[in-house]
Structure formats: structure tokens, C-alpha cells
A = this chain, B = another copy of it.
């Protein structure tokens, strides 16, 4: 695999994700993506078998990036409060820093055909391992995995998705969310 090509495929991915942020998942087409990526439409078929397969593959590849991002923020000697704050804020920060990937992943997850193939919870397995550790140490309460993922990430993602409709005091809401979730999940 030559460097040049790697770059080309990267441009294709970026083009697709950028366009989906701009036009929505229902607004993309192979030729639009090709134009945005600066390659011929035919070139896309060198890397992907079909549009369908391209979407799925890139979704699969990107789906756990948000979780990967927050995991990088986490430090193993954090206490419970910090852990939760880091996870929640990390999720929000990712949605700002990588708006297009955030939106892409969110859109794909709601799309029935795609979400069947990539389950959100599976993407969060690293985070879950971490949470299990904190549960074992008696810091976090013993809620089940699904409940944990739901309560930690769903509200902040909703906030992030609606960010532009907020006046600007999103910081305040974020603080509240962090506080709430700490209260629910932490022992004492």
C-alpha cells in the first residue's frame, strides 16, 4: 500500500464525513464525495465495493472514536468524581473538536439499516472495562452496563447535538449534568 493511496482513501473518508455534516446522511452521493475529495468517482470503487459498504465500513471505523477520545483524557489514578467529569466533558469536547465525526456517528446510529450492524454499546467496551474497575473498587454503584452508558453519555450527547440552539451558556448545563451523574453513580 503506497503512501499516496493511503492519503487518497483518507481524503475520501474525510469528504464523506464532512458532507454528511453539511448535507445530512440523506444528502450525499458518490459523485459529490468524489468531487469534495478531489478524486474521480471511479476511484472510490478502488477502495470500496459499493456506496452501502463504504458507509458501513467508515461508520464501523469511526463509531468508537468518541469513546477513544474520552479514554485518552482519562487518567488511571483519578477519583470517581474526576472520572465522571472527564467522561462527560470529554464527550462534549469531542463533539466540538470533531463536529463532523460526531454528527456522522450520531446520524448513522439512528439509521436503522446501519445501527443494526454497529451497536453503540460495543463501541464503548474500553470505557466499560474502566467503569468495571471503578465498580470493583466500590467507587461506582453496581448498575448494569447499558444503564451506565445511557446515563453517562446520552444526556451530554443530546446537549451537544442541540448546542447551537443554546444561547451559549452550555457550560452551565454541562456543569449540572456532571453534577447529576456524579450524584447518581458515586457511592456516598
Contacts and interface: CB of A to CB of B under 8 A. Distances in A.
A34 interface: no
A150 B111 CA distance: 21
Contacts of A154: 154-155, 157-158
- What number of copies of this chain does the assembly contain? 4
A184 interface: yes
B172 A113 contact: no
A110 B161 contact: yes
A96 interface: no
A98 interface: no
Contacts of A161: 109-110, 115
Interface secondary structure of A, over-half rule: helix
Interface of A: 21-28, 103, 106-107, 109-116, 119-121, 143-144, 146-147, 149-151, 153-159, 161-162, 164-166, 172-173, 176-177, 180-181, 183-184
Given A26-B25, A110-B107, A159 B146 contact: yes
B165 A113 contact: no
Contact of A112 (B22, B159, B177): B22
Given A26-B25, A150-B173, A154-B155, A180 B106 contact: no
Given A21-B112, A151-B155, 16 more contacts: A24-B113, A25-B26, A26-B28, A107-B111, A116-B164, A120-B158, A121-B162, A121-B165, A144-B176, A146-B166, A146-B173, A147-B180, A149-B158, A150-B159, A151-B151, A154-B157
B155 A173 contact: no
Nearest to A172: B144
Nearest to A28: B26
